[in-house]
Copies of this chain bind each other. A is one copy, B any other.
Amino acid sequence: MATLADIGISAGINLLSAFTFLFAFAMLRLQPFNDRIYFPKWYLKGIRSSPTNSRSFVKKFVNLDFGTYIRFLNWMPAALHMPEPELIDHAGLDSAVYIRIYVLGFKIFAPITLLAFMVLVPINWTGKTLEAPAAKDLTFSNIDKLSISNIPFGSKRFWVHIGMSYVFSAWTCYSLYKEYRIIAAMRLRFLASERRRPDQFTVLVRNVPPDPDESVSEHIEHFFCVNHPDHYLMHQVVYNANMLASIVAKKKQLQNWYVYYHNKYERDPSKRPTTRTGMMGIMGAKVDAIDHYTALIEKLSEQEAQERENIMNDPDAIIPAAFVSFKTRWGAAVCAQTQQTSNPTVWLTEWAPEPRDVYWENLAIPYFDLNIRRLLTSVSMFFLTFFFMIPIAFVQSLANIEAIEKVLPFLKPIIEKPSVKSVIQGFMPGLALKIFLALLPKMLMTMSKMEGYSSLSGLERKSASKYYLFVLVNVFLGSIITGTAFQQLEQLINQPSTEFTKTVGSTIPMKATFFITYIMLDGWAGIAGEILRLSSLISFHLKNTFLVKTEQDRQNAMDPGSLEFATSEPRIQLYFMLGHVYAPVTPLLLPFIVVFFAFSYMVFRHQIINVYNQQYESGATFWPDVHRRVIIGLIISQILLAGLLSTRGANKSTLVLIAQPVLTIWFHLYCKGRFESAFVRFPLEDAMVKDTLERAVEPNLNLRLYLQDAFVHPVFKADEFEKPVIIDDEEENPLIQTKRTCRSSKPESENEAASAGSC
């Protein structure tokens, strides 16, 4: 077990690396040629322009104003400078709320740390179990003397820990409640103050049932004309453009290569660049690169045109889903929240995601398929979480030296060298695991996509849930109980349920030092690495060198990135859980967590101000998930504390501690009822207020024109290509003539409404 000195050394190393990263960042960001990597957000906003234009040649690339180097940490106060309303305006509500997770962590754990050091540390320190003569043969360190391990078996002092656990839980719940209230209010204010946006008037309708006599578009038109006669305005059908999108993506990639070779040729006109037609330009016949790619691009352009033609003319290219728009926000709010027909598997309506947020590939999945997909995903998620070690072990067994020699015998002389051999033997087993862990977020995202969610924000949230489960089982429990998740599962099943919590609970104090080092490595140095943006740095300079021709290209070469909610939020949750688990057990861990939250807050505030460019704006829809997961962590910590104390001769206390999770669950349900609806539904009152205001301010607004092209697959928008004009076609259709009546003129009396309603 590590002593305080060991932890000090570890802290020193990690602090050093963190400061190295920060220093490197401070140096790099001051160089003008890196400006687009560290301030892309401002470029995208059009506020900042390349400093490389106006200065002398050297100054274009290197900052020679040495004064700026001395104040290398002054980005920190700068990051804290921008007030929150401005931040919301600048970076969006999603980002502003995301960094509040760190603030929440700080608010929860700073007072808990103080209290724990004032109350629990002295009590633990004077426990004297570990110094007692009977315990002479025990190895222990100063850290353990500060932890609950130092309290004698069956001591009355445990009641202090129990009391403090209640205080900590109460404070956490209070903070969570306050934060939930603030964020719900922020969201409502944000929604209320928003400019007019197409999704406010629009509902996404999925699973339109097939009709033998009408096209999808006609069917939708008629259905909503009948069932929302006073409110229906128009709809936009969705084309199955997945094929087209992949052609366009491929074309873009080829264009990049074309530009690359073209630039190469321009720089050295003496030699026309060549490439090979085979795999990855390595094998196959040698050809002139520029001609080759010109030909390929032309071929793809033809294919693209053909595909566009197909989509326009083929009725099967219209999928049974549509974006239905209403005359008022009230009408859209009503339609999104109600059930349309007696069969709840067709005409499913939901609030339309923001146009940028739509995940187009998933709009056409039938109801039953969706159910099967969810079942399969749950089962595979279970296996992924608990059995992921099995395929990795299999790969590891394949990737040993003998196997490599067998498959690739020509490598034998190289591999047999002792130095290479030891590297392979030491490196290969870990490599499979590293690759797996690196690919995990992508795998989880693919699984979420398979599940059929229709918005990017929804996909991110679902992936985050999956990643949280994985982190909980394999990082948290996996570190406490040695052995694979599968072995844990076996233990969980074959032991009495109380025994499992006891085992885990009693192991907790011993793992404190491990987690302290983990926090410093992952939480301190890792976050400092985040600000350096090393991969973006390299990728930008590569692109800049080989692909960039115009200012526009340079703009595109920037990779501002975004907050990766799906992976980073579950990792924050791990810190919440560690904090709650260790608060009553080993308070020494708490300061490290507090530092993590404070430092991360500053780093990410800087990043969202200067770097990240969110792909979509969901209005903090993720907060209920964050809240729920903090609660889950809290409940796990409460159960583990009960397990721990029951192994320390404080059996009677278990009864007192059992009430804690019950109360916490109740608190969660209360918060859910109190606030969650602000994140999933849109109240009619607010819709009515906005409608009324808008009608007063802009009485002559042509909403139809405004919404015309709002929900069009991005592949149609990217080019100057005109989208199929189905709606205009229909206006000439005599059958639809009647719909104009129910659209434009309001029925004079209820009688007429009845007849108009049947249009």
Q: Is A544 an interface residue (CB 8 A)?
A: no
A-B contact pairs, 25 of them (CB 8 A): A188-B342, A227-B685, A230-B230, A327-B750, A334-B334, A337-B337, A337-B339, A338-B681, A339-B677, A340-B683, A341-B684, A341-B686, A342-B686, A344-B674, A344-B675, A344-B676, A344-B681, A345-B673, A371-B666, A493-B496, A695-B751, A695-B753, A695-B754, A699-B751, A746-B746
Interface residues of A, count at CB 8 A: 63
Interface residues of A in 488-513 (CB under 8 A from B): 492-499
Asked if A344 and B692 sit within 8 Å, CB to CB, the answer is no
**Which of A340, A342, A699, A750 has the largest number of chain B CB atoms within 10 A?**
A342
Asked if B226 and A345 sit within 8 Å, CB to CB, the answer is no
Q: Is A669 an interface residue (CB 8 A)?
A: yes
Asked if B371 and A684 sit within 8 Å, CB to CB, the answer is no
Asked if B684 and A338 sit within 8 Å, CB to CB, the answer is yes
**Which of A327, A493, A683 has the largest number of chain B CB atoms within 10 A?**
A683
Q: Is A282 an interface residue (CB 8 A)?
A: no
Asked if B340 and A338 sit within 8 Å, CB to CB, the answer is no
Q: A277 CA to B341 CA in the complex, in Å?
A: 63
Interfacial chain B residues near A674, Cβ < 8 Å: 344-345, 367
Asked if B344 and A757 sit within 8 Å, CB to CB, the answer is no
Q: A333 CA to B337 CA in the complex, in Å?
A: 11
Q: A184 CA to B691 CA in the complex, in Å?
A: 37
Q: Is A174 an interface residue (CB 8 A)?
A: no
By secondary structure, the A interface counts as helix
**Minimum C-beta distance from A665 to chain B (A):** 9
Q: Is A420 an interface residue (CB 8 A)?
A: no
Q: CB-nearest residue of chain B relative to A675?
A: B344
Q: CB-nearest residue of chain B relative to A749?
A: B746
Given contact pairs A337-B339, A695-B754, A696-B754, enumerate 18 new A-B contacts (beta carbons under 8 Å): A188-B342, A227-B684, A227-B685, A230-B230, A327-B750, A340-B684, A341-B685, A341-B686, A342-B683, A342-B685, A344-B675, A344-B676, A368-B670, A375-B666, A691-B757, A692-B758, A695-B751, A695-B753
Contact of A334 with B344 at beta-carbon distance under 8 Å, contacts A379-B662, A494-B496, A670-B371 already known:
no
**Minimum C-beta distance from A20 to chain B (A):** 48
Partner of A746, one of B226, B699, B747: B747
Asked if A339 and B681 sit within 8 Å, CB to CB, the answer is yes
**Minimum C-beta distance from A610 to chain B (A):** 33
Asked if B695 and A750 sit within 8 Å, CB to CB, the answer is yes
Q: A228 CA to B330 CA in the complex, in Å?
A: 9
Q: CB-nearest residue of chain B relative to A229?
A: B688
Q: A138 CA to B654 CA in the complex, in Å?
A: 44
Interfacial chain B residues near A228, Cβ < 8 Å: 684
Q: CB-nearest residue of chain B relative to A495?
A: B496
**Minimum C-beta distance from A666 to chain B (A):** 5
8 cross-chain pairs, A with B, having the tightest CB-CB distances, nearest first: A695-B754, A344-B677, A337-B338, A339-B681, A341-B685, A375-B666, A339-B683, A188-B342
Q: Is A729 an interface residue (CB 8 A)?
A: no
Partner of A748, one of B371, B497, B683, B746: B746
Asked if B342 and A338 sit within 8 Å, CB to CB, the answer is no
Interface residues of A in 646-688 (CB under 8 A from B): 662, 666, 669-670, 673-678, 681-686, 688
Q: CB-nearest residue of chain B relative to A757?
A: B692
Q: CB-nearest residue of chain B relative to A497?
A: B497
Q: A757 CA to B367 CA in the complex, in Å?
A: 39
Interfacial chain B residues near A367, Cβ < 8 Å: 673-674
Q: CB-nearest residue of chain B relative to A697?
A: B754
Q: A666 CA to B379 CA in the complex, in Å?
A: 11
Q: A340 CA to B227 CA in the complex, in Å?
A: 21
Q: A472 CA to B371 CA in the complex, in Å?
A: 30
Interface residues of A in 304-330 (CB under 8 A from B): 327
Q: A279 CA to B78 CA in the complex, in Å?
A: 82
B-contact 0/1 string along A206-249, CB 8 Å cutoff: 00000000000000000000111010000000000000000000
Contact of A692 with B754 at beta-carbon distance under 8 Å, contacts A334-B334, A342-B685 already known:
yes
Q: A378 CA to B521 CA in the complex, in Å?
A: 44
Partner of A344, one of B379, B666, B673, B747: B673
Interface residues of A in 152-194 (CB under 8 A from B): 184, 188
**Minimum C-beta distance from A757 to chain B (A):** 5
Interfacial chain B residues near A755, Cβ < 8 Å: 696
**Minimum C-beta distance from A450 to chain B (A):** 16
Asked if B333 and A338 sit within 8 Å, CB to CB, the answer is yes
**Minimum C-beta distance from A465 to chain B (A):** 17
**Minimum C-beta distance from A677 to chain B (A):** 4
B-contact 0/1 string along A685-708, CB 8 Å cutoff: 110100110011001000000000
Q: CB-nearest residue of chain B relative to A330?
A: B227
Q: A98 CA to B494 CA in the complex, in Å?
A: 42
**Minimum C-beta distance from A79 to chain B (A):** 32
Interface residues of A in 340-354 (CB under 8 A from B): 340-342, 344-345
**Minimum C-beta distance from A621 to chain B (A):** 15
Interfacial chain B residues near A368, Cβ < 8 Å: 670
Interfacial chain B residues near A333, Cβ < 8 Å: 338
**Minimum C-beta distance from A35 to chain B (A):** 42
